[in-house]
Structures are given as C-alpha cells and as structure tokens.
Structure 1
Amino acid sequence: MGKNTGFMDYEREEADERNPLVRINDWKEYDAPFSDDVLTRQGARCMDCGTPFCQMGDVINGQTSGCPIYNLIPEWNDLVYRGQWKEALERLLKTNNFPEFTGRVCPAPCEGSCTVAISDPAVAIKSIERAIIDKGFEKGWMKPRIPQKRTGKSVAIVGSGPAGLASADQLNQAGHAVTVYERDDRAGGLLTYGIPNMKLEKDVVERRIRLLEQEGIDFMLDTEIGKDIAAHELNDRHDAVILCTGAQKQRDLIMEGREAKGIHFAMDYLTASTKHLLNANSNFIDAKGKDVIVIGGGDTGADCIATALRQECNSVVQFGKHPKLPLERTAGNMWPEDPNVFTVEYAHKEAAAKFGEDPRNYSIHTKCFVSDGNGDLKEVHTVQMEKYRDENGRFVFQEIPGTEKVWPAQLVLIAIGFEGPEQPLLKQLGLKTQNNKVEAKYGEFMTNKENVFAAGDARRGQSLIVWAINEGREVARKVDQYLTGSSVLPSYLDF
C-alpha cells in the first residue's frame, strides 16, 4: 500500500488553515483542502502494514480505536497515491455513506491507531477521505442511484441525523419506500443545526439531502412524531419504524443561581445561531459585547467558542474539570488506543489570536452563578480542583482552598454532554429504556415492540458520527431481513 518507503520519505502535512483573525469575520469553513500533489505524497505514507489497525473499529478502555465503519483505508490511500481517484471513491463508498461529513467533522480515531503513528505523525487519513468524496462530486461521479425494483414495503425513520440518513440510504437501495420524519425545518439533524458552518458548511449537507431525494427518499420536515403525528399512527402508515432521534437531552448544572437569565445549553445556542445564519431569524442568543464562559471541555464547547468569537463577544473562556492533558501518550494510553493527549482545536487558535491566550482553564469547578438586581447573569464563582486516586483506586476531585475566583459573565453556555434521547416519544411508543437509552441489543436493534427499531445515539448514547453511520447501516440490514426474510445489504461483519 502506498510507496514502500513513503512513510520515511515524506512527512505528514497539515491542511492549510485560513488566518484565525480573518476567518472569525465570516462563517465559512476554516481550512482549505490539499492539492493533488500533497495528497499523492500523503497517500504514499500509508505503510504496507500486516494488520491495518486504522480500520479495525473497536472500543479500548472506553474509547474508540480505529474506524467503526471499517473504511478500507489502506486501499483508497494506495489508489490516491497512484492517481486512481474514481476507484478510490468506489472503495470509500463501499463502507461509508457520507464521507463528506466524516472527512470534515469526525475526530479521526483511525489516525490514532495508524501504524505509522507508533513513532511518527499518522497518515493524513481524514484529509484524504474528504478529498476523495469532494472530487467525486466535483467530477460528477456522484450520480443518483435509483433502485430498479421496489419491494412494496414502507419504512418510517424518525430523525435525519447521520444514523437516520445512513439507514434511509441503505433501505432505499434495498428497494423499500423510505420516509424520514424530521421535526426541524431542514434535514440533517445535528449535521445541520448542531455543527457550525466553520466545520461543516450547510451546502455540503444540502447537497447530500438533494441526492437522497433524487434517489427516492421522502423527507417530511417540520413534523414532530408524537405531536404533529401521533406515534401510533406510524405503525398504521409503515411496515417498520426506526428511531434515530439522537441523544438530545442535555446534561444540566443544578446549582445556586441557575435560574439567572443568560445561562443556556450549548446545543440550544449553536442551533439558534445556525438557524439565524440560514434563515435570517432574529430569535437567537447573541454573544456580542458579552463576557462568555463555556462550561465543558469537549468539541461542542469549542464550537461555542468559535461561534461567540464570530458574534463579537467581549471575552471567552472555557472551563474543564480535568487537568490539562499530556503532550505525549502516557504508559496507560499506549497505541493503538486513541491518543489522550493535548491538542489545540480551531476555536482555541482563534481565541488565542484575538485575545492573546488559550481560552481553556483546567481543573476548575463551578460553584454558583450570581445575577444582578434584574435577574440577569453577572458573574460565575469557581474553585480549582485536585484530581487524585483514592484508596480504592478511583479518581476523585477535591477543592483546593484559597483558589476561589469570581469571573465576570453575561453569557454562560453549558456543554457537559447529553443524558440520552428525549423521553416523551419513547413513552408514547411504550418502549423500554435502560440508563435513559432505548433498550435494543446491538446487532439486533429491535425494541420491545416488534416492528420498532432503534439505532444511533438514541440506542447507544452520545457518540461519534462514525458510530451513528455504523448503526444506521446495521439497523437497515436487520429491518430488511425483518421485512423480506433475508437481506441484500452488506454488514460490517462481512469486511
């Protein structure tokens, strides 16, 4: 695969990023794609390793290692190196329905388990993946695949995020009539309203939705199941139902002062911002001129930082409860695990460029919120924490006396994750849940209701886009078997 000595001859190259001080003035994607010459060199770096851990897709110590959709990475890396782009696209689409999404917003656990990454920077897998699909659209290779035969069976899919879209794509190709129900005014789920334009421009999502429509999938927008259509009516209209509603119930911070005006969930903030951008809707949460605090150290928190910067906030800081990560792998985080190391995301670069320092604060605990006389948020009180192992070997946190601090804030964004799917629809359908998630065994995906299936974050909890695609494809195969007695759809177990 690739050039025999490519990993020694060529260094990893990073995609060009636009100047942070320039790009915070617009909402366009912050990076630019590689040239074909660079991509050829990067494809050449892929080793002819005996076991390509990059495509193994496993969970080690609670973290994803390798690609959960088992992308045939060495194969399409080699084809790019040889200039065989159309063949590379065919191999990529064999396992991945939407590489234009994963190539932009997936955290790339494949790169963490790349064999080259044992001692050198990983192959630029994510950038190559994005380039292959973008060239496919550019060259006109991505044409509608309209099924020649229809089965007469009908499937309802609730939710149009990556799991819903993947299952819809697969089932449509199997010949079933597929209707996707989405409560928002645009399809795409979090791809549209949860991930800001700087990471995923919405014309990329809309381009894929148009293609799926041309292939025969119906999208019912502005339609909330359980409200606009009673949940039981889905069974009357369709032969099978798949719930791909995501894990949209956000975790809250219950503490003194939480009722102050100016405290919002991160996803509410991001959704409103994107809706305003796309629809010129004045009903959004504006950070302009405000001191902003983002509570939560993950990708969603970083997206909040980048959004607040583009809204011209006065300042922005990000709180994380854990200590700063090491620069290199520790003894307890060995390859091929996903590297748990310090990184600087696009939003952190932007904040540092504007305000002169990284916005992140580590080992910090929020104690309370304080409002002014009118109920508007005025400040946030915190204390530093020490993380250590107790006598039972468990990590615990302890406050450090004398480290109390008061932060000015008129806008706080809570980005500490999700608890699971929203419950009212599940109750209407009479579905069993476990730990707030729909109870449905992986590999089977059927709930306690015979013709109702569940996949993606609604079933597994908050996770990666590649796991959503994995589950969307696998549930489609099970539904195809349920409807016809067998399935023509591939399973990841076949790769």
Structure 2
Amino acid sequence: MAQQRMLKFVTTAKETPEKRDATARTHDFDEIYAEFADAKAAEQAGRCSQCGVPYCHAHCPLHNNIPDWLRLTAEGRLEEAYQVSQTTNSFPEICGRICPQDRLCEGNCVIENSGHGTVTIGAIEKYITDTAWDRGWVKPIAPAVERPESVGIIGAGPGGLAAADVLRRAGVQVTVYDRNDRAGGLLTYGIPGFKLEKDVVMNRVRQLEQGGVAFVLNCNVGTDISFDAIRGKHDAVLIATGVYKTRALTDPGAEAKGIVRAIDYLTASNKKSFGDDVAEFDDGTLNATGKRVLVIGGGDTAMDCVRTAIRQGATSVKCLYRRDRANMPGSQREVTNAEEEGAEFVWLAAPKAFAGNPVDSVTVQRMRLGAPDASGRQSPEPIEGGLYEEPADLVITALGFEPEDLPALWNVSALETTRWGTVKASFGTHATSLPGVYAVGDIVRGASLVVWAIRDGREAGAEMVKYLDGAGRVAAE
C-alpha cells in the first residue's frame, strides 16, 4: 500500500509552494513562500522514486534520510517524518528555508536528472518541521542523565548551536559565549527575514535555553573575558566564531562615506526588524530609503543586500558582478527572486574608482572572461576602454569574508592556523592543536554554507562527548 503512494513523478508534475506576488512582497520582510497544505505536501513527497542509490542523501552535507521522511510524509505519518528528519539535523526548518537545494539534494535528485523535475525536498522539509512546532511535537531537551563536565562554546551561530544541542542531549553542561546581544549569529543578523523569519531562529534558541544551555551575550572573547579564562572554566572548548572580517575595496575613493560593508548593512536592517534602536539606520548611513543603491558582489550575501534595499524603498538597485550569470557563486533562485522584485544585474562589470564624499558615482570597468584560473573558472579581465560612470548614493560591498586573527586577538599563539588564517582542525574530529579545544564551521572552512556549519557542530559535539568520557579537566595553558 505504501509503495502505491510513491513513484508519482510519472503522472504528477513538480510543484513548489506558492510564491507571494513580487510587488506585494517588496513592502515587507515576511517570507515569500507560502506553506504546503497537508494534501499537497503528501502529493509532492509521493513523487520520490525511492531509488536504490539516493543521491539526495549522498549530496546532503548532513546525510539526511530524505527518502525515508518523504515516504512517511506521503503516507500521512508526519510526526514520524519529523522524528526521522531531526535525527540527523538539529535545525531542519532552517535548512528547509535557506539551503541551496538546487546545488545539493534537489540538484542531484534522480528524477530531476531523468527529466521529470526534482522532488521539492526543501519545501517539504520546512513543512514537516513547521507542522511539528505547530502541533507540539518538538519536545524540550531532557537528558536522561546529567553529567558534571562542562563545555564552553565561543560563537552562537549555527555551528555552535548545533554542537550545544548535541552536547546538552548527552547531559553535558553547556555555556555559549557570543559577542552579539542575541544568539543565532548569521541566522539572526546576517540573513534577512524574507528568507528566514526571526521567530524561527528564536524558537530554537529558546529550546536550547529551556534545555539548560546558558548564554553569555554581549561578550567579546579577548576583551570581556580571555580565551584562557574560558578554558579554565570548562572541561573542553569549541571555537565556532564564523568569519566576519570583510574583504575591503582598494580602488581610489573606496574610503568615502556612503560605501558600507554588507554585514553592517544587513545587521542594521535585522536589528530594526526586532524593534531595536539603530542609530546608523536612523541617520541614513545604513538605510537605502530614497537612494540609488549599487551592490558589489555575486554571492548570496549580495543577493540579500539587493533584496533588502528594494524593501527599504531605494529609488534604484543594481548589482555589479565581475563574471557572468552562469559563473556567479550565489543561488540562481535568489537572482530570479531579486529580478522579479525589480533589481537590475550588471554582469561582467567591476568597480574601478569612486567619486564624491559622500559617494555619488562609481567608475565601472566592463569585463570579459579570459583563461581559466587555478580553480578552473574563467578569470575576468578588463576590456580596454570599457569604462563608464554609474550614479550611486549608497554602495554596499559584498565581496566575501575572511577569518580574524584569533591567535593574536585571544593571545593564544599555540592555536595553529592555516595559511588562509582559518583555524587548523582535524578532519572528522574537529580537534585543534590545543588539548580539549575543537573548532567548527566557517572559522575552519572559510565562508561556507549554514548546513556545513550544522554538520560540523553536530560531529564536534559527538567527538567532545567521547573526549569527556576519557579525559579530565582541560588545564589552561
């Protein structure tokens, strides 16, 4: 009987949740996709072919048991579907919203590759977990046995929170230290509400708090508390700081007022969504209202800035990227959403210089793609004479992130780093050069996906439990 509910991809077309009208959605920061109804979720889950080699599972960083919870959803066994999904993922409702499924699970779906259109895995994952919250299936963390050992986690982003979840369920005492006034890291302050509404993140933070995780916020390690002090307080430590140092422009005039970092711009917008007082937003420094906005970059952060500026009431929004559309690192889905909402993309274009202080125009260099670089991607090169002026009142730079120099900031020279400045951690165990100290997420990988940080955090949490099982208190060095 169960098998009859599957294999519907032959007769049932792929459908995604309805998307809100582009004009209407640009006036608020609410999520743009509606929720599946029960019947539609079951129907779409039933399109799964239950293939013998599930590439969706293999290409998911968390190795989620996707075919299993799709089958359970098709059979109407939603609570069981949620239980299966959360065994491998601490935050399935977050991944269902912001993972680039087109590059991961859905992009490797067998029926997608056979021409039938992928199963809408992300939308169903979101639906299952949202339903679980609504119906009370998401239970508080309640360890079977409390352990005396404690772990200090530096960074309350997805990697740190995922590790906290695993450690607390094992009964370990957990304290999370973070520089911000709210937990969540990038999930809270780096991703706009139209992709991830903030109550989704806060629900998980509350679940961790209610389960016994302690949060020490507004705490800068190296200033408010030393790294050695944290090591002295805990039996093991996890570094999950992420990477927030922005790659800077070096073009003439790049220091002018009106040229701002993407992380500052997005943080200000998200703080306003919480109702906070944000002086730099209120005085116009980090506010696009009534301005001609130019966003520089081609990743998902650039897309977030473009779509935020539209919602803030910019008079025009353009995105410059030095390569073409096919070679941009950001999600094509996000580019499509931005275009629907009125953004203009200027491909094969890069800033050459900035005029005015505050900035009022940008000299743009037209580019072409030349020979491949070491990564295999074609390198952009300037076209001789291809210069023109682009007016702009607000320039937002979204050129990527680099790690901070943690050994210097924290006065811990024994913490080994790579030549890129990331913390050196063992593959699989996530152990660093310091005994009892682990590291996960972007501070190890470089700027990467939320789902990889969650995987790292879960793996490190499990490894730290093993360490605590066989090791005593870590002595501060």
Q: What is the TM-score when the length of structure 1 is the normalising length?
A: 0.89
Distance apart, 1:214 and its partner CA: 1.1
Deviations 1:448-471 (A, max 9, x none): 111211011111111111100110
3-state SS, counterpart of residue 306 of structure 2 = helix
Deviations 1:121-167 (A, max 9, x none): 21000000000100101111112121131220010001111100000
1:382 aligns with 2:367: no
3-state SS, counterpart of residue 51 of structure 2 = coil
* 2:345 counterpart letter in structure 1: R
3-state SS, counterpart of residue 147 of structure 2 = coil
> Does 261-270 or 391-400 show the bigger shift?
391-400
Q: Distance in 1 between matches of 2:33 and 2:331?
A: 24
Distance apart, 1:344 and its partner CA: 3.7
1:240 aligns with 2:243: no
3-state SS, counterpart of residue 45 of structure 1 = coil
3-state SS, counterpart of residue 384 of structure 2 = coil
For 1:310-389, what aligned pairs fall within 5 Å after superposition?
Answer: 310-325=311-326, 344-351=335-342, 358-371=343-356, 375-389=357-371
Deviations 1:29-66 (A, max 9, x none): 1111111111111101101212000011xxxxxxxxx2
Q: Distance in 2 between matches of 1:260 and 1:240?
A: 45
Of 115, 136, 139, the residue aligned with 2:110 is 115
Residue 90 of structure 1 corresponds to 83
Distance apart, 1:342 and its partner CA: 7.8
Q: Distance in 1 between matches of 2:34 and 2:117?
A: 20
* 2:431 counterpart letter in structure 1: M
* 2:338 counterpart letter in structure 1: A
Q: Distance in 2 between matches of 1:292 and 1:89?
A: 42
Residue 460 of structure 2 corresponds to 475
> Does 191-200 or 21-30 show the bigger shift?
21-30
1:432 aligns with 2:433: no
The answer on whether the counterparts of 2:5 and 2:75 sit within 8 Å (CA) in structure 1 is: no
The answer on whether the counterparts of 2:141 and 2:168 sit within 8 Å (CA) in structure 1 is: no
Residue 181 of structure 2 corresponds to 185
Q: Distance in 1 between matches of 2:327 and 2:410?
A: 44
Of 7, 12, 30, the residue aligned with 1:28 is 30
The gaps in structure 1 that reach 5 residues or longer are 57-65, 328-337, 352-357, 487-495
3-state SS, counterpart of residue 67 of structure 1 = coil
For 1:166-177, what aligned pairs fall within 5 Å after superposition?
Answer: 166-177=162-173
* 2:63 counterpart letter in structure 1: Y
Q: What is the TM-score when the length of structure 2 is the normalising length?
A: 0.92
Of 188, 197, 204, the residue aligned with 1:201 is 197
3-state SS, counterpart of residue 121 of structure 1 = coil
Residue 136 of structure 1 corresponds to 132
Distance apart, 1:305 and its partner CA: 1.1
Deviations 1:62-82 (A, max 9, x none): xxxx20000000000000000
Distance apart, 1:247 and its partner CA: 1.3
Q: Distance in 1 between matches of 2:269 and 2:431?
A: 36
Of 73, 79, 92, the residue aligned with 1:80 is 73
Q: Distance in 2 between matches of 1:165 and 1:201?
A: 18
Residue 418 of structure 1 corresponds to 401
The answer on whether the counterparts of 2:368 and 2:381 sit within 8 Å (CA) in structure 1 is: yes
Aligned-pair Cα RMSD in Å: 2.1
Q: Distance in 2 between matches of 1:106 and 1:421?
A: 25
Of 210, 216, 221, the residue aligned with 1:220 is 216
Residue 355 of structure 1 corresponds to none
The answer on whether the counterparts of 2:303 and 2:335 sit within 8 Å (CA) in structure 1 is: no
Change (3 A) 1:446 1:390: closer
For 1:274-313, what aligned pairs fall within 5 Å after superposition?
Answer: 274-283=270-279, 284=281, 285-313=286-314
The gaps in structure 2 that reach 5 residues or longer are 472-477
Deviations 1:240-276 (A, max 9, x none): 1100000111111111101110111111100011112
Distance apart, 1:391 and its partner CA: 11
> Does 435-444 or 416-425 show the bigger shift?
416-425
Q: Distance in 1 between matches of 2:442 and 2:429?
A: 15
Identity, % of aligned positions? 41
Q: Distance in 1 between matches of 2:208 and 2:248?
A: 36
Q: Distance in 1 between matches of 2:249 and 2:158?
A: 28
Q: Distance in 2 between matches of 1:248 and 1:380?
A: 25
1:445 aligns with 2:430: yes
* 1:81 counterpart letter in structure 2: A
* 1:429 counterpart letter in structure 2: V
